[in-house]
A and B are shown apart, each in its own frame.
Chain A
Amino acid sequence: MAIATEPLPSPGWGLESIASLLEAFPRGQLSEIVGPRSAGGSSLLTALLARATAAGDLVALVDGPDTFDPAGAAAAGAELRSLCWVRGRGGRLDAACHAAELLARCGGFAWVALDLAADLTSPARTAPTFAPATWIRLQRAVRDTPTRLIVHASRHLAGSAAALVLAVERGPARWMGSPRPRRLDGLGSRVRVLRARPPAPTAGESGTEWKLAWRL
């Protein structure tokens, strides 16, 4: 049985664009959000959690490096009572992958997010290596379930197992006050489709990107 894939929304800007972009993640498939440090990938993931939990969905977040900030998610509108937070204390990312596989296979969660961002203080934010079978296992675990499985990492990891890969690129940081900054106001991000299966109507067009704005 072919699993229907939601068409990607048209490129846009701002909050409307975030809302429509979040609807593009396909059910029963593995998707990826990739991007370097301070590009806005975590903000996009938090927006996803906020939107899903506020709609009453159960969400599981497997927080591999244990860096999730519940207070920030609540500020973004997340209903924390609908969030199952799995903390990856000790930095065992293989255990995080296993936990995400179990949660995805159960089919009880509308969203399962697996955060695999590497050590934030590493000089170049390099992602750890995983066995290729890891992604096949995750993809098979979520297949035929109503769950959306999202992997967040600094680079594309899942290869052909991912049905949708969104690359988040760093935009300019916005500071208030001139000439000396008084306050960090927010950050801009650009989101591009690295991979979409089947190709989304907007995915093949060159130069298409979504411009998102995150406020502190």
Chain B
Amino acid sequence: MEARVAALRRLGCLLVPGFAAAAAVRAEPALAGQPLVVLDEARPGRLVLEVAAAARALGIAPGMTEAAALARSGGAICRERVAAHEAAAQSALLEVALAHSPRVEEGGPGEVYLDTAGLGALFGDEATLARRLAAATAAAGLPARVGIAGSRVAACLAARWGAGAERVPPEGDAAYLAPAPLALLGLPVEMARRLERWGLRTLGELAALPARELFERLGAEGPRLQALARGEDPRPLLPWRPPRRFEETRELDWAADNLEPLFALFAEMAGRVCARLEAEAVAADLFEWSCRVPVARAPGREVRGSFVPPVPTREAGAVMAVLRATLAAAPPAGAVTALTLRAQPVRVLAAQEPLEGEPRPSPRALAETIARVIGVVGAGNLGVPVLLDTHRPDAVRLEPLDALFRAAAPSGEKRGPGEGGVLALRRLRPPRPAQVRLVGGRPVHLRSGGLMGPIVASAGPWRVSGEWWLESRWSADEWDVELADGTLGRLAHDGSAWVLEGVYD
């Protein structure tokens, strides 16, 4: 049965030799035919990564330094490797394959496989299909070699060894590869030398060795190399799917100049984006939105924003609650003619409930609640407090609530003797201006807002200061005071004015 399936299997390989250089030429067609040298900036010394044929003729080879390559006569042209160019070239290669077959596998940079079984009715015989694939990749700006065979390995080796558009007859992979040189396998130097010492020159000679003795000398690597030499590769094709875009855009026939229609449209778009996330069993940890506001004699200005949900979510209601609050707090300045909502997908892992202590809340349910609370109090007014590494009074920032879900289990540490009985200060934000009367350098009367009265006890001043090396330096003398009515407060004098920082309660 397996043999019958193998006999029916036909796979094609699109291979772009010197992919980085090919991608550079595709991005800059004027480099075609020039002695191009692609440098790898990530490696120390700016080494040559790939060279075009014209540069190879000048004696430039991968691994040389940039200086050595430029020293060769002939005027080599150096270009740095650009990841974006390579990504675009890879996409083009995949698009060519997808235009011919619904089942495509990405083998690596400049290497794509496609299932060619059953394509005869559409494109003619395999030789025609191979030529057609080569022409299509050339039209896409990539000099690809094409091989069609019964396995992935055989197709790849055929693409490397063949004339450019090669077709291996069905069940003839081993016979086709037999005369091919061993170098085609791209073996490590040590292994290549070892096989050369054995007198092996072709794949056929390697394939003909007795398997048992080969295993005794090379271990598991021996049978693996032998299978490669015969073009055997039982692994099925792993279909590649284009990455899904979780994005919705709406162009409006009329300009929306108030928020309600925008909310309705965004709700519809959020529903669609979240349905797509649901279908893919993923959630989003970032939502980006934009509104296009037309400007006179200009294509328009984009008002953009983004928000991070407390936990990755695909609940349209939760998304809309935050979006509604955000837009209501800062509506677009002008009528809107187009809307976009984009989600960044992440895979969500199930969490294990703790065996001890109180059960943790469902992150999703909590995220929805938090989103609603943000809708009530506004974004930026809710989070996990984090103390800043400074002695400045009231130095605190709010972090997103995902920290809440990473909250550590109880430490079980023994509580210190002073903990649990600390006098709390209720901070006034901002501190209220105060009028303080002094006698003998000590405050004796306070008036701040409606709080007024004689001070019956006081302690201070306590000098607090810091960050004297910055523009934001601060310094104040603090006093603890008790009013006649029993109110305990903290006063501060920064050298120019008194303020009431807070009330002890």
Q: Is the CB of B421 within 8 A of A120?
A: no
What's the count of A-B pairs with C-beta under 8 Å? 225
Number of interface residues of A (CB under 8 A): 79
Determine how close the nearest CB of chain B comes to the CB of A211; give it in whole angstroms: 12
When distances are taken between beta carbons in the complex, the residues of chain B under 8 Å from A86 are 373, 377, 381-382
Q: Does B372 contact A (CB under 8 A)?
A: yes
Q: Is the CB of A43 within 8 A of B449?
A: no
**Of B395, B417, B505, which is within 8 A of A40 by CB?**
B505
Q: Is the CB of B422 within 8 A of A106?
A: no
CB-contacts of B361-400 with A (<8 A) = 361-362, 365-366, 369-370, 372-373, 376-378, 381-387, 394-396, 398
Determine how close the nearest CB of chain A comes to the CB of B124; give it in whole angstroms: 63
Q: Considering the chains assembled together, what is the distance between the CA atoms of A106 and B358 in angstroms?
A: 15
Q: Does B357 contact A (CB under 8 A)?
A: yes
In the complex, the chain B residue whose C-beta lies closest to that of A51 is B420
Q: Is the CB of B384 within 8 A of A81?
A: yes
Q: Is the CB of B429 within 8 A of A186?
A: no
When distances are taken between beta carbons in the complex, the residues of chain A under 8 Å from B30 are none
Given A46-B422, A47-B422, A76-B419, also A175-B457 (CB < 8 A): yes
Q: Does A3 contact B (CB under 8 A)?
A: no
Q: Considering the chains assembled together, what is the distance between the CA atoms of A70 and B418 in angstroms?
A: 17
When distances are taken between beta carbons in the complex, the residues of chain B under 8 Å from A19 are 420
Q: Is the CB of B423 within 8 A of A214?
A: yes
Interface size class of B (residues with CB under 8 A): 35 or more
Determine how close the nearest CB of chain A comes to the CB of B180; give it in whole angstroms: 62
When distances are taken between beta carbons in the complex, the residues of chain A under 8 Å from B358 are 56-57, 110, 146
When distances are taken between beta carbons in the complex, the residues of chain A under 8 Å from B411 are 54, 79
**Of B362, B404, B489, which is within 8 A of A82 by CB?**
B404
Most chain B C-beta atoms within 10 Å of own C-beta, residue among A43, A55, A98, A105: A43
**Which of the segments B45-53, B156-164, B479-487 contacts the partner chain?**
B479-487
Q: Is the CB of A15 within 8 A of B420?
A: yes
Q: Is the CB of B458 within 8 A of A84?
A: no
Q: Does A12 contact B (CB under 8 A)?
A: no
B427-444 near A? 1/0 per residue, CB < 8 Å: 111001000000000000
Q: Is the CB of A123 within 8 A of B377?
A: no
CB-contacts of A100-137 with B (<8 A) = 102-103, 105-110, 117, 119-123
Given A38-B505, A80-B385, A214-B422, also A102-B372 (CB < 8 A): yes
When distances are taken between beta carbons in the complex, the residues of chain A under 8 Å from B480 are 183-184, 216
Q: Does A194 contact B (CB under 8 A)?
A: no
Q: Does B425 contact A (CB under 8 A)?
A: yes
Q: Does B502 contact A (CB under 8 A)?
A: yes
A34-55 near B? 1/0 per residue, CB < 8 Å: 0001111111011100110011
**Residues of A in contact with B (beta carbons under 8 Å apart):** 14-15, 18-19, 37-43, 45-47, 50-51, 54-58, 65-77, 79-89, 95-96, 98-99, 102-103, 105-110, 117, 119-123, 146, 170, 173, 175, 177, 181-184, 186-187, 212-216
